[in-house]
Amino acid sequence: MSQTYQYSHSQALFERAQKVIPNGIPGHFNPVVQKPEGTYPFYAQRAEGARFWDVDGNEYIDMMCAYGPMILGYNNPAVEAAVQAQSQQADTCTLASPVMVELAEFLVDLIPMADWAFFAKNGADATNMAVFIARAATGRRKVIGIEGGYHGSSPWMQALGRAGITPEDHAEIIRIPWNDVAALESVLLEHENEIAAFISSPYHHPVYQDNEMPSETYWQAVEKLLRKRGVVSICDDVRCGFRIDMRGSHEYFGYTPDISCYCKAIANGHPISALVGSDDFRQEASSIFQTGSFWYSAGPMAAALATLQELQRDNAPEKIIQSGSKIFAGMQSIAAEAGVTLQVTGITSMPYVRAEHEAGIEFHQALCGECTRRGLFITSHHNLFVSAAHGEAEISRSHEIFKEALDSVIAEFAG
């Protein structure tokens, strides 16, 4: 049996943090989201391969991969050597470095629809730029997105009702359900000559919900409609990128967007995002204004180049999908033996996993918390992530921990 972890150092640090940082921890890992209370650590001390250690010295197999950026394993030697070599020459500098050109060339060779590439820092930089380009190209203002689709924290992408967001921020955004070609067609008709772009991830991966693949003919039908109406197709590959297909996730689903956005896994954790597009949008891509203090940083560009080369050499997306299939099929059969249905939806390299129970989400939250405090770090609200560093040792240990955690939660909810 595994010992359950204690988090006294995390807790002490969190108390200090609350005095100087609003909320203690901003962003992704807000303690309010991580339920049940007391089952999650708050701060990591170090990370290596598929594992990290928290400030209390507890070790975890990481099934969140930094919410996506880690794909080759933390502290990957090839990536870190490339960053160091580049940074010794120049990192953030007055001028861009040659590695920017090399990285753009690599992406243009790698992704069939790409004739050019731009670089920024966050996924939201890329999705914002994609919309600017679409508006510049069409002279139209409106953007269609999917209900529950996430494209970053810029005002137009945030959920209405969140603090600081106004209805005007959403004035040009129309949301339609996922996998609904008829809804797309009717919005395109209703707003003829008003729609600049359709933005969507290649498959639907909302939070707190089972994820959904496209129906068999969905993307082909969408592509046809968008072309007919002159609407720019933006693929938000920020989360899926390089976990499904090296050539872009759209290739896996058999369609061709006009512009694609990348971030997360592109540089194995180093800060960079990319926007790629076809020649039809080259001129508009040159015309928009968007920049940032660190956008010429060459270290992350070297990291991206090394990451993509390693991923390509290893045929990593296919391997990661296979590892994910082993991990989650194993968990499903452990759950089934215990009489629990474990839903695994989306692609197995980044699936949404949910244990069904009459108590609802609380059972699943308790299960994720019990896994975490035994050394298998998983969250209940978000899709999980698998990396190339998740090998046989991680797979078998994750099954052991999952079984212990499940048994303990079943006992807790029965009592």
Ligand X SMILES: Cc1ncc(COP(=O)(O)O)c(C=O)c1O
Q: Which residues bind ligand X (CB under 6 A)?
A: 122-124, 127, 150-152, 201, 236, 238-239, 263
Omega before 36 within 30 of 0, i.e. cis: yes
Minimum distance, C-beta of residue 210 to ligand X, in the bound complex (Å): 17
CB-wise, 52 or 203, nearer to ligand X? 203
Find the residue with minimal CB distance to ligand X.
123
Minimum distance, C-beta of residue 145 to ligand X, in the bound complex (Å): 11
- Can you list the alpha helix ranges (DSSP code H) found in 43-89? 77-89
Q: What angle do CA 165, 170, 172 make, to 5 degrees?
A: 155
Minimum distance, C-beta of residue 72 to ligand X, in the bound complex (Å): 18
Minimum distance, C-beta of residue 146 to ligand X, in the bound complex (Å): 10
Sign for the CA dihedral angle at 326, 328, 329, 333 comes to: positive
Minimum distance, C-beta of residue 117 to ligand X, in the bound complex (Å): 17
CB-wise, 7 or 118, nearer to ligand X? 118
User: How far apart are alpha carbons 274 and 304 in whole angstroms?
Assistant: 10
CB-wise, 5 or 219, nearer to ligand X? 219
CB-wise, 124 or 133, nearer to ligand X? 124
Minimum distance, C-beta of residue 253 to ligand X, in the bound complex (Å): 15
CB-wise, 201 or 345, nearer to ligand X? 201
First to last CA, the chain: 20
CB-wise, 11 or 209, nearer to ligand X? 209
Minimum distance, C-beta of residue 150 to ligand X, in the bound complex (Å): 5
Minimum distance, C-beta of residue 127 to ligand X, in the bound complex (Å): 5
CB-wise, 151 or 374, nearer to ligand X? 151
CB-wise, 212 or 236, nearer to ligand X? 236
Q: In what order do the strands lie in the sheet with 232-236?
A: 116-120, 273-277, 259-262, 232-236, 195-200, 142-146, 173-176
Residues 6+ apart with CB under 8 A from 27: none
- Helix (H), strand (E) at residue 249: helix 249-253
Residue 145 CA to its chain's centroid (Å): 17
- Helix (H), strand (E) at residue 145: strand 142-146
Tell me which amino acid residue 326 is. Answer: K
Q: Is 53 helix (H, G, I), strand (E, B) or coil?
A: strand
User: Can you list the pairs that 395-400 forms with residues at least 24 positions away whose Cβ atoms lie under 8 Å?
Assistant: 395/323, 395/326, 395/327, 395/330, 397/61, 398/61, 398/63, 398/327, 398/330, 398/331, 399/327, 399/330, 399/331, 399/334, 400/2
